[in-house]
Structures are given as structure tokens and as C-alpha cells.
Amino acid sequence: MVLTRNNNIDLIKLYACICVVALHTIPKDLSAVTTTIYYLSGVAVPLFFMSSGYFLLNRGEISIKYSIHKIVGVFRIVVLWNLIFYGLEFIWKTVHVRKISFSISNLFQSIFQSLIQKDELWHFWYLGALMLIYIILPILSKIVRKNGYKRIIPAFLSICICLEIYSLCTGYPVQKYVIQTFRIWTWELYFLLGGILGQKYSKVGGKDYEMRIHVIVLIAVTILNIVHQLFVGLKVINIVSGRYLNAEYFYDSAIEILWITLLFSFMLRLKLTPSIIKVIKVISPLTMGVYILHPIVLKITSSLFARNSVLSCILLYVVTFGGALAGALFIKVVRLDKYLMKI
């Protein structure tokens, strides 16, 4: 089965994009409201990987040539943005510091560090993880086509749950020992879940009573998951005493996995109105640009708003998201999107 472009998947990517900006602008320790918003936004990265798995694992056989093409596309984005950032930094130092310093080795170092969650473009770790998935995608695709998901999903799920149990027992997140780029067991699980849900929900809609049950279960699990995170993230698993645990350390939690799966499948089944589809088609092509630009925009906007109240945090979020969206739209208008935003 080969899936065509799906407006619901574009909606999921857009929602994930909205959440990822919130994840980086809303402080988790300010108040109960901001903590709840922060944890609800933790769904962002898993949804990105599930959306990729939805298409890639249902597009037929994946060749090594296809994977290499995609890896080159991702790496091109990483290199070009590092080159832009490095060039702007060079100009600033030349004009303001009156110091001319250019080093190819420093540029290469910046590219490498951005892929391992360091330096100014630290958020490119996601692109690094995506490249690793593309490396093993031909093998993964063959396994899925030959044996289905019955063995491989339980295998990755077992790894995640074992790590979560270990963290609960020790009171420290074991995932912290591995940077996000290399937490492949987690990203592969969500990638595979996206693939299997692509088979099950290849068509939108469903019977009314099924959708109502889905909504009720989703709301119940959402509440349960938030309560679990609020308690475990402060009282059980801790890095800094008295501060909530980062959302990334819950991605291996069984409750979190269930919640994200329910949310993803619910959004896949939604019947979208023509007006909503129009909005999605306009904004969806900009999601990668928003992801790339929002931490850069945040460097500017964070100096404008003191994150000391719910209102100031919301304003910071709106301005940051709006700035990143405007930047992505500009890139598309000047027709640089195929170089800077498209894999």
C-alpha cells in the first residue's frame, strides 16, 4: 500500500510545530498552568517522527539510493543554515568587534556540533536523528514488509519501558546519558507506530460512536498522563531537586506512548472542512522553516518579554511563533525554500 499526501498528516505536522515552539518558550517551573502547557507540548517531536513513519513505511520498498538522496537533502539543510549563521556571525564580528576571523575548521565544527545538540543551532539534533533513521530505513522497510510489525514494535517498546522502569527505580533519567540525536530506540518506536497507524487509518472518518469513544479515551489518558508527569517529574525522577523533569525524559513512558498514539490516530480520523484544509495547505509547507527558525527568533524575542507570568509567556510564544512563521514565509516567497526548508 502506497499512501498519497494526507491533509490530516499535514495537520499533525502543523500541530507538532505549534507544540515545539511552546516547548521552548513556555517555562515548566513558573506555575501549574505553564507546567501543564509545557508537558502537553511534549508531544511535538514524537509526532514529527510518527508523521515520517506514516509515509515512509507505507510507500513500498525503500532503496538505498532513496535513503542516500534523503540523507543528502537533510545534510544540505544543516550545512546551508550553519553557513548562513556562520556568515552573519562573521559580518557582526567584522563590523562591531573589528576582528576578521574565518576558519573552515570552525565551520565544520559548528555543523557537527549542531547535529549533536550543541552550539547555536542545537535543535538540529532532530535532523541528525532523522539522518540516522534514513540510514537504517532500507533494512527496517524490508523487515516490516517481510514480517510486519508484530515483532519489531514490541522489541522497541520493551526497550523503552525497561529504561523507564530503571529511571523510576533509580530516581534519575537514564536517557540523560545519551543525547537526543542517538536515542534511536525511542525515535524508531514512534516511527514504526506511525507506519502501522498508516495501515490502519489510511482513510479518514469512522462511525460516530467510535469517534466519541476515541475522544473520551483520549481525554481520560491525557489527564492521566499529565497527572503522572506532574507527580513523577517532581517527586520520583529528578535531575534538579524542586524542578520538574524535562518532557524529553517521558518519551519512553508507557502512558506517554499510549497518549501520543491515541492523539495521532484521532487526528488521522478527523474529517476536515474545506476551509480548514485551505489553511493547512498554506501553513503546512512552512512547518520545517518554523522549526528551524524559532530558536533563532527566540534569541531576539526572549529579551523583550520577562517570563515571569503566564501572560508574558503567552505573548513571548505568539511573537516567537509569528516571527518564525513570517521568516519561513519570506524564504518561500523568495523561492529559497527548496534549499533551506525542503528535504
Boundaries of every domain in the chain: 7-340
Q: In one letter, which amino acid is 158?
A: S
pLDDT in the model for residue 265: 94
pLDDT in the model for residue 309: 92
pLDDT in the model for residue 102: 66
Maximum pairwise Cα distance, the chain? 69
Joined together, the cell numbers standing for residue 233 give 517529574
pLDDT in the model for residue 99: 65
Question: Do the beta carbons of residue 292 and residue 77 sit within 8 Å?
Answer: yes
Each residue's pLDDT expressed in tens, for the chain with a length of 343 residues: 555 568 999 999 999 999 999 999 999 999 999 999 999 999 999 999 999 999 999 988 899 999 999 999 999 999 999 999 888 877 877 776 666 666 788 889 999 999 999 988 999 999 999 999 999 999 999 999 888 898 899 999 999 999 999 999 999 999 999 999 999 999 999 999 999 998 877 655 566 778 899 999 999 999 999 999 999 999 999 887 788 999 999 999 999 999 999 999 999 999 999 999 999 999 999 999 999 999 999 999 999 998 889 999 999 999 999 999 999 999 999 999 999 999 8
Cβ atoms within 10 Å, residue 138: 17
pLDDT in the model for residue 1: 53
Q: 296-303 long-range CB contacts below 8 Å, 24 or more apart?
A: 296/85, 296/120, 296/324, 297/323, 297/324, 297/327, 298/24, 298/25
Within 13 Å and on the Cβ side, how many CA atoms surround 88?
7
Could you tell me the CA-to-CA distances from 133 to 195, 206, 294 in Å, in that order? 13, 32, 24
Nearest to 332 by CA among 270, 282, 273: 282
User: Which pTM value belongs to this model?
Assistant: 0.93
